[in-house]
Chain A
Amino acid sequence: MAEALINAENLTKTYQLGTVEVQAVGGISVKIKQGELVSIVGASGSGKSTFMHLLGCLDEPTSGNYLLDGTDVSKLKDKELAKVRNKKIGFVFQTFNLLPHLTVLENVILPAKYDSSANLNQVKKKAVDLLERFGLGKRLSNLITQLSGGEMQRVAIARALINDPVIILADEPTGNLDSKTGLEIIKILKGLNRENNVTEVIVTHDLNITRFTERTIKIKDGLVESEEINKVVEEVEEEGE
């Protein structure tokens, strides 16, 4: 049996808000294998975002263990966590989170600037290839502000892939897009999963998205409510079909 790429055991996260302790995540265990396409759903305030921050090493768990690609990241310090975020994880955010004063190309290669072992020429080539694949080959020197929402999210996906991460974490990737553009993005993500075996975790509150994924984990009140394997995984329909 293949080793789990993500092996989260009993992760908890408790915040101190003044004198009150708030437990956002109460003890979640999740295993995700290489090549899986998983969705995590939950209502606002369910703890799914906090859990995603823990999975993405943006935040440290209050307790529990987290093995990512064989490394126990739950015990790592800030500097090493930054390295993990740089090399192992690719983020795609709802609000795109690109840098407005940089061009499309500069945004995509930005993670490589924080990787001391990166060869910038190779990285540039890779960025160009990715952007061409996503239909943005002619927009390399455009500023982000000149792009549409769908185009920006495609740049964000390219950025997420630039350092060859082991996993893509997408937090409401279609949240700021209209339904048609949203489906285009899902199509790209699915294409990466199918053709390049990229492991992806999509966090969403939109149940419509889940039908495109293999497995759906439902979070409620900081705990796993259910896990469902989708018997039929849908593909994104082409227009006019």
Chain B
Amino acid sequence: MAFGAMKLSKTRTFLSTLGVVIGVASLILITSFGYGAQASILSRIQSMGANTLIVTPSTSTDVTRAVSGESALRKPLTYEDLQYLKDQILGLQASPQGQSRTNVRVGNNEINTSVAGTNEDFLTVYNYTLAEGRTFFLSDIAGYKNYCILGSTIATELFGTESPIGQSISLLNSKFYVIGVLKTVGSVGFSNVDTNIFVPITKLQIITGQDSLQGIYVTTPSDMSMDVLTVVITKLLTARHNMANFTITNMTQFVELATTTTDTLTTALTIIGLIALIVGGIGIMNIMLASVAERTREIGIRKAIGATRSDILLQFLMEAVTITVLGGTIGIIIGVVGSKFANSIFRAVVTPTSIIIGFAVSVIIGIFFGVYPAMKASRLNPVEALRYE
């Protein structure tokens, strides 16, 4: 009996179901991106440890810098700044942060991936582990050596099951030798460590001609508190730059920021998904109202042969719910497939909860937007309905 509405107008049914499909698919994708992004950022941050500070170039405009021509030319954060901090603070570990995209080639195999300039502290500061080979020595960095360390995924993509150690790759029109491979890390928000290639920051800067860093990650020495370290770094760099053109963030603040951002993002996108659902639901309501009007005679006949108001109400409600659940199921499938597909770029986690929510939501939309047309149908006067042309 529930297929009556669908048989009457397949196009109309398809279009209004589409609204529900999009709404539910959005909800699934959104919640899985939201969970994924949050989970990956948090796990990465937690693995890095609570005594990490990030020094980043300040983005606020500095009027005096613009006026004084000399300082306008100076880059905000440099590798020299990093070395200076290490010299001044005993026990400080610091590593550059930042990457750019480029092509790497081994034989005929060319892959577009990201390259990061780094130094001898990067394993401890970022809490990475070596799968094979060795890390960079200070002498490699100071000596502008053309060595590289590969992320686990890019290593497999370039060399398969072979050990990459000692092999050469072509990167930025230069030859680099592989000295190490990292263990799998997983993706962190919008970057994927496993597809990174790490090279000495010094060598990278010579090749690219750029000497500014996107950031400096430091690990607090054991005999100092994070707050003290923040003060010390601030003093040192301000003196060195003649201005405070940098920001220091600690991990707690970063976690809060990241969580707030993803929460806001998730909430905003969920609202968009809900709007899509409401639009779809209104479409369903319209199609059901049209269906009731077209089938006025039929309703009269059913009542004449013994259908009660509840029989008619239930019949049309079931039709609405069937349409929305069908749309919802398609939406869930699209959402799950889309999340798995997107997981290679962004981290996206499909939880059983999101699927249950998607299903429940489509039932609720069906009932909510179907009840008004169903009530209209049930309340039709049989005599008038039978006369309807």
B382–A114 touching, CB < 8 Å: no
Given contacts A53-B383, A58-B382, contact A97 B301 (CB under 8 A): yes
Q: Does B304 contact A (CB under 8 A)?
A: yes
- CB proximity to B under 8 Å, residues A47-76: 53, 56, 58-59
Per DSSP, chain B at the interface is helix
A86–B304 CA distance with the chains assembled, in angstroms:
8
A159–B305 CA distance with the chains assembled, in angstroms:
9
Q: Which of A33-41, A77-85, A197-205, A212-220 is near enough to bind chain B?
A: A77-85
Q: How far is the CB of B276 from chain A (nearest CB, A)?
A: 32
Question: Chain A residues near B383 (CB, 8 Å)?
Answer: 53, 58-59
Given contacts A53-B383, A58-B382, A58-B383, contact A97 B304 (CB under 8 A): yes
Partner among B298, B306, B309, B381 whose Cβ is within 8 Å of the Cβ of A115: B306
Q: Does A87 contact B (CB under 8 A)?
A: yes
Closest to A79 in B: B308
Q: Does A140 contact B (CB under 8 A)?
A: no
- CB proximity to B under 8 Å, residues A166-197: none
Given contacts A53-B383, A58-B382, A97-B386, contact A82 B303 (CB under 8 A): yes
Q: Does A134 contact B (CB under 8 A)?
A: no
Question: Chain B residues near A120 (CB, 8 Å)?
Answer: none
B306–A85 touching, CB < 8 Å: yes
A82–B308 touching, CB < 8 Å: yes
Q: Does A101 contact B (CB under 8 A)?
A: yes
Question: Chain A residues near B4 (CB, 8 Å)?
Answer: 101
Partner among B298, B304, B309 whose Cβ is within 8 Å of the Cβ of A78: B309
B305–A93 touching, CB < 8 Å: no
Question: Chain A residues near B300 (CB, 8 Å)?
Answer: 97
Closest to A110 in B: B305
B309–A85 touching, CB < 8 Å: no
What does the 1/0 interface line of B298-323 toward A look like (CB < 8 Å)? 10111111111111000000000000
A82–B380 CA distance with the chains assembled, in angstroms:
13
Given contacts A58-B382, A58-B383, A93-B386, contact A114 B301 (CB under 8 A): no
Question: Chain A residues near B302 (CB, 8 Å)?
Answer: 110, 114
Partner among B298, B304, B381 whose Cβ is within 8 Å of the Cβ of A85: B304
A114–B307 touching, CB < 8 Å: yes
Partner among B7, B297, B306 whose Cβ is within 8 Å of the Cβ of A82: B306
Given contacts A97-B297, A99-B301, 11 further A-B contacts (CB under 8 A): A58-B304, A58-B382, A58-B383, A59-B382, A79-B310, A82-B308, A85-B306, A86-B305, A98-B301, A110-B305, A114-B305
